[in-house]
């Protein structure tokens, strides 16, 4: 967890900041519509690039929330099947070389084994 949040002891603000990133990623995927682009050879590569970008965001959000959302992080580690990511122990100090290396990875392979990390909650009006 970042020092500015630790010093203030405000976990709620930390999680709210992370949630804003999740909302931005959701907006991106909704607008990009990679599932539609993938069906057309002319836009297939664009869809793949969109999905790579989203995997990068998911990886980094998982790393940033690992100290708090331990079970979710463990699911992402299993789902990605990535060697560098699998070395991270979220129960220990996250600001070590393994964390820095995993966070800095811009391109990485994944062995996707999809599973639901968190159930989507529908808004009730």
Place 114 in a pLDDT band, splitting at 50, 70 and 90: low
Q: What pLDDT does 82 receive?
A: 80
120: DSSP letter: P
pLDDT tens-place string over residues 31-57: 999 999 999 999 999 999 998 898 889
pTM of the model: 0.71
∠ CA 120-14-30, nearest 5°, is: 35
> Range with the lowest mean pLDDT among 28-32, 61-65, 108-112?
108-112
In total, the chain counts a number of residues equal to: 125
pLDDT digits (tens, 9 = 90+) for 52-103: 898 889 888 888 888 777 788 888 888 887 888 888 887 776 777 888 888 8
DSSP class of 16: H
**Longest CA–CA separation in the chain, Å:** 51
């Amino acid at each position: 967890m970042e020092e500015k949040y630790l010093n203030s002891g405000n976990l709620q603000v930390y999680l709210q900041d992370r949630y804003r990133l999740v909302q931005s990623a959701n907006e991106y995927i909704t607008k990009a519509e990679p599932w539609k682009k993938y069906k057309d050879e002319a836009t297939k590569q664009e869809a793949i690039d969109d999905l790579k970008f989203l995997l990068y965001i998911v990886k980094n959000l998982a790393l940033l929330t690992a100290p708090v959302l331990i079970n979710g992080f463990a699911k992402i580690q299993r789902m990605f099947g990535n060697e560098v990511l699998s070395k991270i122990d979220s129960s220990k100090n996250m600001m070590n070389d393994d964390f820095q290396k995993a966070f800095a990875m811009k391109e990485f392979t994944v062995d996707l084994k999809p599973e639901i990390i968190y159930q989507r909650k529908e808004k009730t009006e």
